[in-house]
């Protein structure tokens, strides 16, 4: 970007940012391919292109960095640093998961949630058990269960003589995505074939005299049904802020009274989502005069009689939202579902992640990728910048994946988007504590398209974080800010050199 007299605006105007959540940096060796000249004329003025080494050195970030930028249509590598260095991809892994799901399931695939019966419906009475059957819909919410309850009434059901069962066997039940994360993080819930509200419950507290009014509910845009299967108790202590225990299908939380202030709310994870969904459906059924017993989990063969069904939106739309909002639950559900569709589903995220890694080798030619989940929430996965760029160039800038990546704006030092920057960036970001990544496409004037990947991590600093500080460790935010500056600087550099 140039000012009115043609001179170059300070590169800091673009370094400040590419988005939140990406990664960066370290001291590394010189680029492994020759670079183009660092300056060229532009309208009579000389535009200086900053060197990659200077951008990295200025950030003063600890850890390791690898990046590759290539022509997105030919695959020709234009510039690289540590291209084979395997680092955690964080949420950049969701881009690989999206392609894995698109190919295994198809872009129009929809997930179904059904209410079924083990016996006939006779004059409004179900003579047998009622079964809520999950079909692995990652977006099922409280409003959706309200629709199912209304459809049950519309089918003529007034009474159920048997049990109320919940079936989550479409996928293995996994209690937590990453066991290394604190218990109370809402983005680290359980995963199963029956999921609700991203498997989170809403905890709210309000000051009431010398104590607090506390609620746990499954709120949505329309409803706020109270929940009994997960409970909160106030505790007179300073730390830890939260504790969690589960027994007999009931999830018990405690929270330190001293941490509550005057009021607030947050989403907490649910570890038994099938019972959670069952309780919410039971509440809505009661509102229609249909009394159901307490939900009981069941596995095995499904009944044949379908009384009500709700289908999700198409997979391509689900994946677009997953990449935009970086929802971990969605990534794990669609990744597991893709592995199941390939006939290779095991019992853990690690097994399914390994299957996805094997698929990338067969389908995309990746050489050294290792995945331990589908969301990137765990830090055990590894991918190199060279392999990630290979994904992008094999698929291309006109692919379905490219079309559902989010647009990442270039920003000035104040965080404002630079609207006249020549680069249009569509990419997936990824952030963990002291881990950052960014990968995708850069569209430049003249139909020039670049594919790139930037990965960085300081695994020593990450490993040294005390367990009590893993939510917001000291120094992690500043590290990420500097990482985003380097990413923005590199993309700005590439847009000037290769545009």
Q: Which of these three, 279, 311, 343, is where a domain ends?
A: 311
- Assess whether 78 and 122 both reside in one domain: no
Task: Enter the tokens of residue 429.
Answer: 């970001």
Q: Which of these three, 282, 311, 340, is where a domain ends?
A: 311
Q: Any residues with CB less than 8 A from the CB of 186 and at least 6 apart, and which?
A: 198, 200, 266, 267, 268, 269
- Residue 33 within any structural domain of the chain: yes
Per the CB < 8 A criterion, the answer to whether 63 and 464 are in contact is: no
- Residue 283 within any structural domain of the chain: yes
CA distance 193 to 174: 10
Q: Which of these three, 262, 277, 311, is where a domain ends?
A: 311
Q: Which pLDDT does position 16 carry in this prediction?
A: 37
- Assess whether 56 and 201 both reside in one domain: no
* Virtual torsion, Cα 389, 390, 392, 398, nearest 10 deg: 140
Q: Which pLDDT does position 356 carry in this prediction?
A: 98
Question: HEC profile for 239-269?
Answer: CCCEEEEEECCEEEEEEEHHHCCCEEEEEEE
Residue 371 to residues 88, 188, 224, 242, Cα–Cα distance (Å):
9, 17, 38, 30
Tokens 């202030």 identify what position?
A: 261
CA distance 444 to 447: 6
Counting the structural domains of the chain, the total is 2
- Residue 81 within any structural domain of the chain: yes
Q: Which pLDDT does position 7 carry in this prediction?
A: 31
- Assess whether 144 and 208 both reside in one domain: yes
Which residues of the chain fall short of a pLDDT of 50? 1-46
Q: Which pLDDT does position 24 carry in this prediction?
A: 30
For 39, the domain range is 12-106+316-498
- Assess whether 134 and 199 both reside in one domain: yes
- Residue 3 within any structural domain of the chain: no
CA neighbor of 356 nearest in space, from 369, 348, 365: 369
Question: HEC profile for 180-242?
Answer: CCCCCCCCCCCECCCCCHHHEEEEEEEEECCEEEEEEECCCCCCCCECCCEEEEEECCCCCCE
- Assess whether 180 and 270 both reside in one domain: yes
The beta strand positions in 84-210, using DSSP E, are 112-117, 121-122, 125-126, 130-133, 159-160, 164-167, 200-208
CA distance 321 to 340: 22
Task: Enter the tokens of residue 476.
Answer: 């992690």
- Assess whether 242 and 320 both reside in one domain: no
Q: Which pLDDT does position 413 carry in this prediction?
A: 66
Q: Which pLDDT does position 47 carry in this prediction?
A: 55
* Virtual torsion, Cα 370, 368, 70, 418, nearest 10 deg: 20
- Assess whether 64 and 141 both reside in one domain: no
Backbone angles phi, psi at 283, to 5 degrees: -65, -45
- Assess whether 130 and 227 both reside in one domain: yes
- Assess whether 434 and 467 both reside in one domain: yes
Residue 194 to residues 157, 167, 174, 271, 328, Cα–Cα distance (Å):
23, 7, 11, 12, 15
Backbone angles phi, psi at 35, to 5 degrees: -105, 155
- Assess whether 337 and 391 both reside in one domain: yes
Burial class (CB in 10 A: 0-12, 13-18, 19+), 401: buried
- Assess whether 404 and 350 both reside in one domain: yes
| Residue 156 zone, left/alpha/beta (φ > 0; ψ -120 to 50; rest) | left
Instruction: Give Dmax over CA atoms of the chain in angstroms.
Output: 86
Task: Enter the tokens of residue 377.
Answer: 């929430």
What is the reported pTM? 0.90
CA distance 454 to 23: 7
CATH of the domain at 249: 3.50.80.20
Q: Which pLDDT does position 248 carry in this prediction?
A: 86
């Amino acid at each position: 970007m140039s000012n009115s007299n043609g001179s170059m605006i300070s590169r800091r105007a673009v370094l400040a940012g590419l988005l939140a959540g990406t990664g960066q940096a370290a001291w590394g060796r010189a680029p492994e391919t020759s670079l183009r000249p660092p300056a060229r004329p532009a309208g009579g003025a000389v535009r200086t292109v900053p060197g990659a080494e200077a951008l990295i050195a200025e950030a003063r970030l600890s850890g390791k960095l690898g990046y590759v930028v290539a022509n997105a249509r030919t695959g020709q590598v234009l510039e690289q640093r540590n291209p084979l260095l395997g680092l955690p991809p964080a949420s950049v892994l969701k881009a690989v998961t999206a392609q894995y799901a698109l190919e295994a399931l198809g872009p129009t695939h929809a997930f179904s949630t059904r209410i079924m019966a083990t016996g006939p419906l006779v004059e409004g009475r179900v003579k047998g058990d009622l079964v809520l059957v999950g079909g692995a819909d990652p977006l099922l919410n409280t409003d959706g269960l309200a629709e199912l309850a209304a459809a049950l009434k519309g089918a003529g059901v007034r009474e159920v003589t048997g049990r109320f069962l919940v079936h989550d066997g479409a996928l293995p039940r996994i209690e937590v995505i990453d066991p290394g994360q604190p218990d109370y993080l809402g983005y680290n819930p359980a995963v199963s074939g029956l999921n609700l509200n991203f498997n989170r419950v809403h905890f709210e507290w309000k000051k009431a005299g010398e104590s607090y009014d506390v609620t746990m509910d499954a709120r949505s845009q329309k409803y706020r049904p109270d929940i009994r299967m997960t409970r909160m108790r106030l505790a007179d202590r300073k730390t830890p802020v939260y504790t969690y225990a589960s027994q007999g299908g009931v999830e018990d939380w405690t929270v330190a009274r001293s941490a509550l202030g005057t009021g607030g709310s947050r989403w907490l994870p649910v570890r038994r989502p099938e019972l959670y969904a069952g309780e919410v459906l039971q509440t809505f059924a009661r509102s229609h005069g249909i009394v159901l017993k307490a939900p009981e989990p069941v596995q095995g063969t499904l009944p044949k009689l379908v009384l009500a069904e709700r289908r999700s939106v198409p997979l391509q739309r689900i994946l677009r939202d997953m990449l935009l909002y970086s929802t971990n639950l969605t990534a794990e559900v669609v990744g597991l579902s893709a592995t199941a569709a390939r006939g290779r589903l095991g019992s853990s995220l690690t097994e399914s992640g390994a299957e996805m890694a094997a698929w990338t080798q067969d389908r995309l030619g990746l050489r050294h990728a290792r995945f331990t989940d589908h969301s990137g929430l765990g830090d055990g996965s590894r991918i190199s910048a060279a392999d990630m760029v290979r994904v992008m160039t094999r698929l291309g800038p006109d692919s379905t994946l490219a079309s559902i990546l989010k647009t990442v704006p270039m920003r000035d030092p104040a965080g404002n988007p630079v609207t006249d920057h020549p680069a249009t960036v569509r990419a997936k970001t990824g952030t963990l504590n002291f881990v950052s990544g960014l990968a995708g496409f850069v569209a430049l004037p003249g139909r020039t398209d670049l594919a790139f990947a930037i990965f960085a991590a300081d695994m020593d600093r990450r490993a040294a974080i005390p367990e009590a500080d893993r939510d917001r460790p000291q120094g992690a935010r500043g590290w990420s800010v500097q990482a985003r500056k380097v990413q923005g600087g590199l993309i700005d550099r590439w847009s000037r050199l290769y545009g």
